[in-house]
């Protein structure tokens, strides 16, 4: 069967890794079945929905390669929700309630004090027309609740197996606010019917809501789609990611230099039966991860794991894709990338090493990030500057240089190699010094050693 699935973000904030996890699982289902991936903006919250978030969501999905076959906006479908609400009212399944939030909370508090579940008592359903008129004369406006049927609703969850939701333990849900705006529970069901959605894939926090929505599908005379509730991506403290986690927004992660497939690989694979490893592309991921592979436990986000994935992807790039244009056109681009790629986790870090490879000694030493030399280190560098004139140039040049400096100064280990690294690279860590020396060449190496010794 060709699946029709939907990713339905609310444009009230930026997408984060947890949102992308949901988007990917929907996209994979469409990709595997040659189906349809629908992007639906749940933008009926007029106060919080913003066009800048609509644009950012579209940009994020495009950057990740998640291209929707169809785009819908709930704000353009209000007539459909009006019709569904009228139909439910006519059937006696949508009833007016007039309690204020404070009054509802007092009711719940009394129920808890008596050891009862804080379920709405359906007082609104019992109101006579005259009572409703009197409340409205006070200036009250109704919110509208859906009368849930008795019993439980059962469904086979494609991620979690058989599920049961006891509707008797749930308050009749509000579908229409006092201002006439609609809540997700109704609009989502109406849209899923209209768009012929075959499978709803979303986070496990919607399981109870699914039982309610199955009853709503029944009330509207439509078959419910299949459901899959994946585990949530959480922070290290166990809390689910939210739109407040701005450092983990897709926009920010892209700006930080993360690769799209590092983000997709982590979002799709963590918390599944598969190892978290970089995938070649979305098709590769789609063929790897099935909904049944998702575990029931939480999927914890580890920033170090995302960085590891990114580094693995960057390390596998060709020089033409990864390495920036070098300031020194005579320097071998492929040799440069081979020398430094093990020391970068992001493409933009290659630009730093490109500058360090081609900079003059004065520019390198003037860099605020260039570490200073202690007196004993300066002596090691001075010895290296003298010895370089007699070292045979070739693949073993650095080994010969280190041997000569060791013999002259007695320095070894870190006391030998750290000063040389500072002078030759302008950093305290980085590529192996043998290949680096060959990359920058004898003239530039001699200039740097001499300048650092005088510094």
H/E stretch holding 139 reads none
User: What distance in Å separates the CA atoms of residue 258 and residue 308, rounded to the nearest whole number?
Assistant: 11
Whether residue 84 is found in the same domain as residue 120: no
Q: What is the pLDDT of residue 151?
A: 95
CA atoms within 13 Å, Cβ hemisphere of 377: 19
- Kindly state whether residue 326 falls inside one of the protein's structural domains: no
Task: Indicate the number of domains in the chain.
Answer: 3
- Kindly state whether residue 393 falls inside one of the protein's structural domains: yes
User: What distance in Å separates the CA atoms of residue 401 and residue 398, rounded to the nearest whole number?
Assistant: 5
User: What distance in Å separates the CA atoms of residue 450 and residue 417, rounded to the nearest whole number?
Assistant: 16
Beta-carbon contacts of residue 95 (< 8 Å; ≥ 6 apart): 89, 122, 124, 125, 144, 145, 147, 172
Last residue of a domain, one of 109, 125, 140: 140
Q: What is the pLDDT of residue 203?
A: 95
Whether residue 89 is found in the same domain as residue 103: no
Query: Partners of 163 in the beta sheet?
Result: 155
pTM equals 0.91
Whether residue 152 is found in the same domain as residue 58: yes
Whether residue 179 is found in the same domain as residue 235: yes
Domain coverage including residue 380:
359-454
Whether residue 65 is found in the same domain as residue 131: no
User: What distance in Å separates the CA atoms of residue 344 and residue 169, rounded to the nearest whole number?
Assistant: 54
Cα–Cα distance list, 102 to 108, 118, 169, 229 (Å): 10, 14, 21, 33
> Is 80 within 8 Å of 190 (Cβ atoms)?
yes
Whether residue 297 is found in the same domain as residue 421: no
CATH of the domain at 401: 1.10.10.350
Whether residue 85 is found in the same domain as residue 177: yes
CA–CA–CA angle 179, 244, 256 (5° rounding): 135
74 burial via Cβ count (<10 Å: 0-12, 13-18, 19+): buried
Whether residue 169 is found in the same domain as residue 32: yes
What is the pLDDT tens value at each position of the chain, 455 positions in all? Answer: 899 999 999 999 999 999 999 999 999 999 999 999 999 999 988 888 999 999 999 999 999 999 999 999 999 999 999 999 999 999 999 999 999 999 999 999 999 999 989 999 999 999 999 999 999 999 999 999 999 999 999 999 999 999 999 999 999 999 999 999 999 999 999 999 999 999 999 999 999 999 999 999 999 999 999 999 999 998 877 777 775 656 789 999 999 999 999 999 999 999 999 999 999 999 999 999 999 999 998 899 999 999 999 999 999 999 988 878 888 888 899 999 999 999 999 999 999 999 999 999 999 999 999 999 999 999 999 999 999 989 998 889 999 999 999 999 999 999 999 999 999 999 999 999 999 999 999 999 999 999 999 98
CATH of the domain at 65: 3.40.50.620
Whether residue 294 is found in the same domain as residue 424: no
The secondary structure of residue 319, as a DSSP letter, is H
- Kindly state whether residue 335 falls inside one of the protein's structural domains: no
Cα–Cα distance list, 238 to 133, 203, 246, 266, 384 (Å): 48, 15, 17, 17, 53
- Kindly state whether residue 185 falls inside one of the protein's structural domains: yes
Last residue of a domain, one of 298, 315, 332: 315
Whether residue 190 is found in the same domain as residue 127: no
Whether residue 226 is found in the same domain as residue 298: yes
User: What distance in Å separates the CA atoms of residue 163 and residue 156, rounded to the nearest whole number?
Assistant: 6
């Amino acid at each position: 069967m060709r699946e029709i699935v939907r990713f339905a973000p609310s444009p009230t904030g930026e997408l984060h890794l947890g949102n992308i996890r949901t988007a990917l699982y929907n996209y994979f289902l469409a990709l595997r079945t040659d189906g349809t991936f629908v992007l639906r903006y749940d933008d009926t919250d007029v106060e919080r929905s913003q066009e800048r978030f609509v644009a950012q969501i579209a940009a994020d999905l495009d950057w990740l390669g998640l291209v929707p076959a169809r785009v819908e906006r709930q704000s353009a479908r209000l007539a459909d929700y009006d019709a569904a609400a009228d139909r439910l009212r006519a059937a006696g399944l949508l009833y007016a309630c007039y309690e204020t939030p404070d009054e509802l909370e007092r009711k719940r508090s009394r129920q808890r004090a008596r050891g009862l579940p804080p379920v709405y008592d359906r007082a609104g359903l019992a109101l006579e027309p005259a009572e409703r008129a009197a409340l409205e004369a006070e200036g009250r406006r109704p919110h509208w609740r859906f009368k849930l049927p008795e019993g439980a609703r059962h469904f086979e969850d494609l991620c979690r197996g058989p599920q049961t939701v006891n509707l008797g333990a749930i308050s009749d849900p509000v579908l229409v606010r006092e201002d006439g705006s609609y809540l997700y529970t109704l609009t989502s069901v109406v849209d899923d019917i209209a768009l012929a959605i075959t499978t709803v894939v979303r986070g496990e926090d919607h399981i109870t809501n699914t039982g309610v929505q199955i009853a709503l599908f029944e009330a509207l005379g439509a078959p419910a789609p299949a459901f899959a509730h994946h585990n949530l991506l959480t922070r290290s403290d166990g809390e689910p990611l939210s739109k407040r986690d701005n450092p983990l927004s897709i926009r920010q992660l892209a700006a930080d230099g993360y690769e799209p497939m590092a983000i997709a690989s982590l979002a799709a694979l963590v918390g599944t039966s598969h190892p978290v490893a970089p995938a070649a592309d979305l098709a590769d991921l789609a063929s790897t991860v099935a909904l049944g592979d998702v575990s029931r436990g939480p999927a914890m986000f580890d920033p170090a794991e995302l960085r590891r994935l990114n580094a693995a992807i960057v390390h596998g790039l060709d020089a033409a894709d990864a390495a920036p244009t070098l300031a020194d056109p005579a320097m071998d681009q492929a040799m440069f990338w081979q020398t430094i790629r093990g020391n970068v986790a992001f493409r933009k870090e290659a630009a730093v090493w490109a500058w360090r490879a081609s900079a003059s000694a004065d520019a390198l030493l003037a860099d605020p990030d260039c570490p200073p030399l202690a007196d004993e280190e300066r002596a090691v560098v001075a010895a290296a500057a003298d010895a370089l004139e007699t070292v045979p140039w070739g693949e073993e040049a650095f080994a010969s240089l280190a041997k000569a400096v060791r013999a002259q100064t007695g320095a070894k280990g870190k006391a030998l190699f750290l000063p040389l690294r500072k002078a030759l690279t302008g950093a305290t860590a980085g590529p192996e010094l043998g290949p680096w020396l060959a990359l920058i060449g004898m003239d530039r190496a001699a200039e740097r050693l001499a300048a650092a010794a005088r510094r």
